[in-house]
Structure 1
Amino acid sequence: MKRLVLVALVALALGGCATTAPYGNFVQPPVTVDQQQLAGDAAKQLAALWPPAKTRFELQQPTPDEFGAALVGNLRSSGYAVLEYAPQKASGAGNATPEQKDADPVVVVTPTTVALPLRYVLDHDAGTGLYRLTLLVGSQSITRPYLEQNRVLIPAGYWVRKE
């Protein structure tokens, strides 16, 4: 019986690794806390782990929310090159008109450094009042909890890094 329970737990754990998690800002509006402060804290932690001016980040998700826009701004002002999210579009070369086929070819410049994929998850647990910010950089992640006090989010713990 114990073996069956152990096998079931291992299967559930591996199944969780195989699924893709959603990314983005899951804090429900109206938001009363300053998410720009969170973005500044996130940029400082990224700078401590990945040096600015030597690191490029490529966002793997759209950033239409307040936190995402602030994060991009903070990363750029810290010295990072940030490639914003652009979903891959199907090539329309097969549907080109004769005038387009005769036009000069587009020169594609490949970057000299590889960009690290960057995603984030910001969520809130109404039961505990805690906010959680997770930044996923490549295959690593860093997470920090925050607690709301007087409409300001203060760290409720240390940054935790998972490699």
Structure 2
Amino acid sequence: MPVLETKYVFTITALIGEVVSAGDIGHGVRRVIPIIGGEVRGEINGKVLPFGADFQIIRPNELIELEAKYALESDDGTVIYVENKGIRFGPLDLLQKLKRGDPVDPKLIYCRTSPKFETGSDRYRWLMEHLFVASVARHATRVVIDVHMVL
């Protein structure tokens, strides 16, 4: 069997707006966090378009399910749709600090996602022909996503 390896490809820094809560939906608290811009740097360079959101469910045990949907625009004008699903988990006191917007060392919080990309561009078709995993760091006004391609 081939050994699974990954290769770093780029970092997405998504700027985020104020959290909106739909309240307790029976199996957790639904939150929506607007994505208002940002940048991508690495094998793709460009910007995060100012629309989209992270649709979260915070489970009673504070396990947070993430599902972000947004778009990138490369420096050459190509639009790339992103759907990024994952989880965030860590010590309760640190998760509460994150909710308040207080700084927390990202190394103390487990946050991993599996981004999926879509584009009609032949130049970036490789994004649809590979699987990706990402390590995510949540900050008060931004989310930093280091994207790795599974080889």
TM-score bin (small chain)? 0.3 to 0.5
Using structure 2 for the length normalisation, give the TM-score.
0.34
Specify which structure has the higher proportion of strand: 2
